[in-house]
Amino acid sequence: QKEVEQNSGPLSVPEGAIASLNCTYSDRGSQSFFWYRQYSGKSPELIMSIYSNGDKEDGRFTAQLNKASQYVSLLIRDSQPSDSATYLCAVRGGGTSYGKLTFGQGTILTVHP
Amino acid sequence: NAGVTQTPKFQVLKTGQSMTLQCAQDMNHNSMYWYRQDPGMGLRLIYYSASEGTTDKGEVPNGYNVSRLNKREFSLRLESAAPSQTSVYFCASSVRKDDNSPLHFGNGTRLTVT
């Protein structure tokens, strides 16, 4: 089992719809969780971080964390073509992996007009 | 504010050649990292430096060496390049390794080994 798993996609949604991106992780002691966006040929940029169970909202983005289910998600409301990118989930481990940041393989999102 | 600066942006090497990838950050971060990114593999950690004067292996350290020259600079060296090292390399930094601070990435170096 991979430490951090994402559906690689591609996920295709129409403009204005909600895009839902999911991530599961194996380390129950994981401490912090990040979503990065990466445009083709560019470097990853941080869009959301979440540390405790529940929802965290920032503009059109909502991160959701459920530590019991070892699941973190990113919702993008009112999706725009400019949201088309690869979204990377990153998890910072706990326990013996304390501090180690592991990335999923990324989900490709395409928003079509 | 430059953030994390990597050089070069592109490089082509022949098998067996050596080279050093340079990285510098101006955010006064303590921790620095080198990742490689291959299609379908996500980002994999090569080496990291939790603080000035320390370096540690990540997931895929074989074939690489690093130097934390000072707090700002962290270089990655390929002593004898192999085609398997064809990849995009990202340097990143964070305030500290063992806290909630996120990584800030450089623009990447696209390396091709023929």
Q: Please answer yes or no on whether A51 and B100 come within 8 Å at the CB atom.
A: yes
Dihedrals phi, psi of A97, to nearest 5 degrees:
-100, 20
pLDDT for the residue A19: 97
**A8 to chain B, minimum CA–CA distance in Å?**
8
Q: Yes or no: say if B41 and B81 are a contact pair by the CB < 8 Å rule.
A: no
Dihedrals phi, psi of A58, to nearest 5 degrees:
-145, 100
Instruction: Classify the C-alpha dihedral B27-A76-A28-A54 as positive or negative.
Output: positive
- Please state, in angstroms and rounded to a whole number, the distance separating the CA atoms of residues A16 and B35: 34
Please name the member of A32, A44, A103 whose beta carbon is closest to the beta carbon of B100. Answer: A32
- Please state, in angstroms and rounded to a whole number, the distance separating the CA atoms of residues B19 and A107: 32
Residue B91: other Cβ atoms inside 10 A: 29
CB of B103 within 8 Å of any CB in chain A?
yes
Mean pLDDT, range A54-68, rounded to an integer: 95
pLDDT for the residue A9: 80
CB of A92 within 8 Å of any CB in chain B?
yes
**B22 to chain A, minimum CA–CA distance in Å?**
16
Q: Residue-wise pLDDT tens for chain B (114 aa)?
A: 679 999 999 999 999 999 999 999 999 999 999 999 998 778 999 999 988 989 999 889 999 999 998 999 999 999 999 999 999 999 999 987 767 788 999 999 999 999
| pLDDT tens-digit series, residues A2-26 | 789 998 789 999 999 999 999 999 9
